[in-house]
Structure 1
Amino acid sequence: MAPPPPSPSPFPFVVIVFVIVFFSLPLVSLSKSTIEPCSVSDACPALLGYTLYADLKVSEVAALFRADPFALLAANALDFASVPDVPDRILPAGLFLRVPTLCSCADGIRKSLSTRYRTRPADTLASIAADVFGGLASADQIREANGIQDPSAVDVGRTLVVPLPCTCFNSTDNFLPAVYLSYVVRGGDTVPAIAARYSTTVADILACPSMFPRYASDYGMLVANATYAITADQCVQCSCGPGNLNLYCTPASLAVSCPSMQCRNSKLMLGNATIQHTSAGCNVTSCDYGGFVNGTLITKVSFTLSAPHQLPPVFEPPTSVIRESYLAPTPSPIPEAEPGGPVPSRKPSPSVAGTFTLPGVSPSVGPAGSSSEGTSVDRMSYILNLLLFLLLLIFS
Structure 2
Amino acid sequence: MPNRRPTFFSFSVSFCFIVFSNVALVASKSTIEPCSNSDSCNALLGYTLYTDLKVAEVASLFQVDPIAVLTANAVDISYPDVENHILPSRLFLKIPIQCSCVDGIRKSVSTKYKTRPQDTLSSIADSIYAGLVSADQIREANSIADPSVLDVGENLVVPLPCTCFNGTDNGLPAIYLSYVVKPVDTLAGIAASYSTTITDLMDVNAMGTTSIKDGDIIAVPLSACASNFPKYASDYGLIVPNGSYAITASHCVQCSCGPGSRNLYCMPSSLAVSCSSMQCKGSNLKLGNVTVQQSSAGCNVTSCAYGGYANGTIINSFSSSLQPRCPAGPQQFPILIAPPTYVPDSAFAPAPSPHSDGSTTTTVPKTSKVPSTGSLPGFGPAGAPLGSMSDASTLVNSVSTLPAALLTCLLIKLISPVSL
So what's the TM-score if we normalise by structure 1? Answer: 0.75
Question: Any residues of structure 2 matched to 1:73-152 within 5 Å, and which?
Answer: 73-80=70-77, 82-152=78-148
Q: Do the aligned residues in 1 keep the contact of 2:183 with 2:351 (CA within 8 Å)? A: no
SS in 2 for 1:249: strand
Match of 1:306 in 2: 327
Question: What is residue 10 of structure 1 aligned with on the other side?
Answer: none
Asked if 2 retains the 8 angstrom alpha-carbon contact of 1:324 and 1:344, the reply is: no
How far apart in 1 are the matches of 2:378 and 2:70? 23
Contact 1:225 1:240 (8 Å CA) reproduced: yes
Larger relative contact order (CA 8 Å, sep ≥ 6) = 2
1:75: Cα distance to partner? 0.6
Partner of 1:14: none
Please show how residues 165-176 of structure 1 align to structure 2 within 5 Å. Answer: 165-176=161-172
Unaligned runs of 5+ in 1: 5-19, 327-341, 355-367, 380-396
Q: Is the alpha carbon distance of 1:58 and 1:196 closer, same or farther for their aligned partners in structure 2, counting shifts above 3 Å?
A: closer
Unaligned runs of 5+ in 2: 4-17, 202-218, 356-374, 380-384, 396-420
Return the index of the structure with the highest Cα Rg. 2
Q: How many residues align?
A: 333
Could you tell me which of 296, 299, 304 is aligned with 1:287? 304
The residue number in structure 2 matching 1:49 is 46
Aligned pairs for 1:1-396 (under 5 A) are 31-80=28-77, 82-191=78-187, 194=190, 199-200=197-198, 201=201, 202-278=219-295, 283-302=300-319, 303=321, 305-307=326-328, 308-326=330-348, 343=350, 345-346=352-353, 370=387, 372=389
Question: What is the CA–CA distance in structure 1 between the aligned matches of 2:288 and 2:106, rounded to whole Å?
Answer: 35
Report the 3-state secondary structure (helix = DSSP H, G, I; strand = E; otherwise coil) of the residue aligned with 2:335.
Answer: coil
C-alpha displacement of 1:323: 2.9
Separation of aligned partners in 1, 2:22 and 2:186: 16
Q: Match of 1:299, SS?
A: strand
Change (3 A) 1:167 1:269: same
Q: What SS does the corresponding residue of 2:90 show, helix, strand or coil?
A: coil
Q: CA deviation at 1:301?
A: 1.8
Structure 1 residue matching 2:236: 3-state secondary structure:
coil
Q: Which moved more, 1:179-188 or 1:151-160?
A: 179-188
Measured after TM superposition, the shift of residue 191 of structure 1 is: 4.6
Seen in structure 2, the aligned counterparts of structure 1 residues 185 and 243 have a Cα distance that, compared at 3 Å, is closer
Cα distance change on mapping 1:247 and 1:298 into 2, 3 Å: same
Task: Give the secondary structure class of the aligned counterpart of 1:32.
Answer: strand
TM superposition shift of 1:203: 0.3
CA distance in 1, matches of 2:42, 2:310: 19
SS class of match (1:64) = helix
Percent identity between the aligned chains? Answer: 59
Q: CA shift at 1:374, angstroms? A: 9.7
- Counterpart amino acid of residue 346 in structure 1: S
Q: RMSD across aligned C-alpha pairs, in angstroms?
A: 3.4
Aligned AA (1:261): M
**SS in structure 2 of the partner of residue 144 of structure 1:** helix
Cα distance change on mapping 1:257 and 1:150 into 2, 3 Å:
same
Deviates more, 1:294-303 or 1:193-202: 193-202
CA distance in 2, matches of 1:171, 1:181: 11
Secondary structure of residue in 2 paired with 1:291: strand
Decide whether the 8 Å contact of 1:259 with 1:297 is kept in 2. Answer: yes
Structure 1 residues 193 and 205: CA distance shift in structure 2, 3 A: closer
Give the C-alpha shift of residue 46 in structure 1. Answer: 0.4
Shift of 1:207: 1.1
In structure 1, the residue matched to 2:400 is none
Give the TM-score normalised by structure 2: 0.71
